[in-house]
Structure 1
């Protein structure tokens, strides 16, 4: 019945702003370190950003077919349940609860604290305490209610565009002694394919968020025409912005310098605008990161709550409890505790690579789901179909497989931890199912 209640009010421009606003987050300010550290050169680093954008566009176009055909609350969880059954959807919810959202909150809190230390010139010893304080503050603010958290999100979304625009505009025209060269593409101690793969995995954190783009399909006036156009133009625009800001970085700092700093945007801003101007840009970036933490917190605390409604978790009754502001505070407490444990690692790039590895396993399953459902349910109403089928979905699948396999070989520890944490959910699922606790 939910599908009948959706009002078709969203036009192309609104859809376009949703695409751009959802995807552009904090990764663009901090991932250059990991990208250029992995690739070793400006040319290979920029190629990684381009490939990340192409895979993201193909992924967005592919997943949007499911979003348009199954416009129900729950997004990915619903698509997986319909295609593969309850176990697959449960495993996604479990992975989001113990890895994806806590790791995002932890990684972003770490980078927020790193930026604070950089802004005030303090030692790195404050990073973990400040990161924990940031995560706790955001969680407590969310406990005050969705309206307050949502208003904060709207303000910080606007703020993140300011440092982006200023660094791009002034960075591209910066007059310095840094020589910007695209060639050679690779250097001796950075093998082309493995370096490109590691750089690509790093970019995918900055592009993450595209999966939610298709969730508005059921409320669009003309999804068949406007949705693919919004995805292609929106994600292409994001890719262009990412390329431009990385070129701006490279006009100010060589690739080796970007690879050696955890705060590339702040360092570039200091060189472009001087000390005071750089600090103002840094404050803008801090607000942006704070808003991104809030976005993942708002969404993340509702995942274990939704699973508990299906009686899929231990102590589901406890997870289902809502506070006076109708916020699932117990779910929030658990997400926060896992995040704090991860914060103690102090590893921004390790956490983001692990969460990208795990979530792309499920993304790739969703790409396959388009083929499965087309064969199994040819009569399913599809207001939008992925263009150039099956080429676009195949590109998305190949990209997903490459990301997962490359991480397995180049970062086996990260991959192993991610797989172990995900696998812990299996015995819990089968125990609950055998006891007849899981709601069908």
Structure 2
């Protein structure tokens, strides 16, 4: 059954995957968090969105350069392996398979369920939300496992749908705010609440979840038509477009309601803004679109999650490669890798609930699994960028030296911002990270003798 994956996706799907995964739930519920982090300082909040976007674009550009030269199984793992070495590539793939992809996927399943519950007036942390989160998780897995082509079409359609409310608020909200004077008032207003630590760093870390996910597009490298052309274009076009959309949307929100109202609104902050500009019916319609938006993001993350163990097995690395490199002849999907991917996502969904939504189950090892894995991956980019400067002899001066330096600076900035804003939670996360990586080391060659 190991026949490789079919080239089935084009440039539009790749761009939709970048934009569709990044623009999901984060832009809707992190807007309030960013404003709270800055104490109501709108200018600083916009700066945070801009800086978070620059970090994404700088890193994405470097991987776009690498994508023009390397095309194997799973983009980011290919680059780690080529630039740093096979061992680093394996541990990068293990991290993506066991921490990054499933943690992000599980959080999106819950966030999708949360907004669905808000729409119906149910408890967002109760059994209803967790049951629906599990249903969304399994449904997304089934869609990707049974009909990957349909999953790709869904990614394109949900991306288009989710852009509608963002564009409307960016334009109409700004005009509304200029006419009413709210926008000018929000820009000129003083800090509304006292903030601890470095508010800008805290706000940038808050944007990290909203900007994350673009790297998932590299997971379909082996299934992308003309990948050396289409993947770089998708990364550059998708990330730049996202930054512009986020900043304009954030300004539009500031034109809809006062900063104090937005800060107090919590998960309903965006709904209040839309209800103000587009009436109560518009606010309700927003939440329908938000649910669709979240499900589109979940679909893209699941698409990457289901291929993560295959990325290792295709290199004959990791546990039981003869099992996880199996590709179904009918669906052309790595079925065993898909099953393991959804299992890992279910484990992380259970952790997210026990660590963040109820009385803590894990003591000091309770942390937000939507943010800390993101910070880890930025740290893991740094060796790739360093070796890009050493090995990229066929690249021009900008792509060999300037772009990697910008990528390193952006990655270091995100790590420092996390340390400053998240504090001791990082220590306990890193302990868990080290344990999982040690398990990966122990299982690196497990079951290989059975393949002979």
* TM-score interval for Structure 1 and Structure 2 normalised by the shorter chain: 0.7 to 0.9
Distance in 2 (alpha carbons) for counterparts of 1:430 and 1:26: 34
Match of 1:37, SS state, is helix
1:182 and 1:53 map into 2 onto residues whose CA distance is 21
Q: CA deviation at 1:47?
A: 0.6
- Asked if structure 1 preserves the Cα contact closer than 8 Å seen for 2:155 and 2:296, the reply is yes
Is 1:264 the counterpart of 2:269? The answer is yes
Q: How much has 1:45 moved relative to structure 2? A: 0.8
Aligned 8 A contact 1:43 1:185 in 2 = no
Report the 3-state secondary structure (helix = DSSP H, G, I; strand = E; otherwise coil) of the residue aligned with 1:262: helix
1:321-340 equivalences in 2 (<5 Å): 325=331, 326=333, 327-328=335-336, 329-340=338-349
Are 2:26 and 1:27 aligned? yes
RMSD: 3.6
Aligned to 1:52: 52
Does the 8 A contact of 1:353 with 1:414 survive in 2?
no
Q: Distance in 2 between matches of 1:33 and 1:248?
A: 13
Q: Distance in 2 between matches of 1:22 and 1:244?
A: 19
Query: 1 CA distance for matches of 2:217 and 2:324?
Result: 28
Shift of 1:399: 1.8
Cα distance in 2 for partners of 1:435, 1:14 equals 36
Unaligned runs of 5+ in 2: 1-5, 358-366
- Count residues in correspondence: 420
Q: Choose the corresponding residue for 2:369, options 351, 361, 364.
A: 351
Unaligned residue ranges in structure 1 (runs of 5+): none
1:408 to 419, 438, 441: 419
C-alpha distance after superposition, 1:238-267 (max 9, x if no partner): 222111111111122333443441243333
Quickly say closer, same or farther: Cα 1:146–1:413, change in 2 above 3 A.
Answer: farther
TM-score (normalised: structure 2): 0.80
Q: Shift of the alpha carbon at 1:15?
A: 8.3
String of CA shifts for 1:155-183, please: whole Å, max 9, x gaps: 21221112212222221222557454335
Note if contact 2:262-2:270 (Cα within 8 Å) is conserved in structure 1: no
- The within-5 A match list for 1:285-364 is 285-320=290-325, 325=331, 326=333, 327-328=335-336, 329-345=338-354, 347=356, 350-364=368-382
TM-score normalised over the length of structure 1: 0.82
Give 2:364's aligned residue. Answer: none
Q: Using the alignment, how far apart are the partners of 1:255 and 1:421 within structure 2?
A: 38
Distance of 1:427 and 1:15 partners within structure 2 = 33
- In structure 2, relative to structure 1, the CA distance for the partners of 1:212 and 1:147 (3 Å cut) is closer
In 2, the alpha carbon distance for the partners of 1:44 and 1:294 equals: 33
Aligned match of 1:427: 438
Aligned to 1:204: 208
More displaced 10-residue stretch of structure 1: 83-92 or 20-29:
20-29
Query: In structure 2, what is the Cα distance between the partners aligned to 1:123 and 1:207?
Result: 27
Alpha-carbon distance in 1 for matches of 2:215, 2:299? 18
Provide the secondary structure at the position in 1 that maps to 2:442.
helix
| 1: CA distance, partners of 2:87 / 2:198 | 33
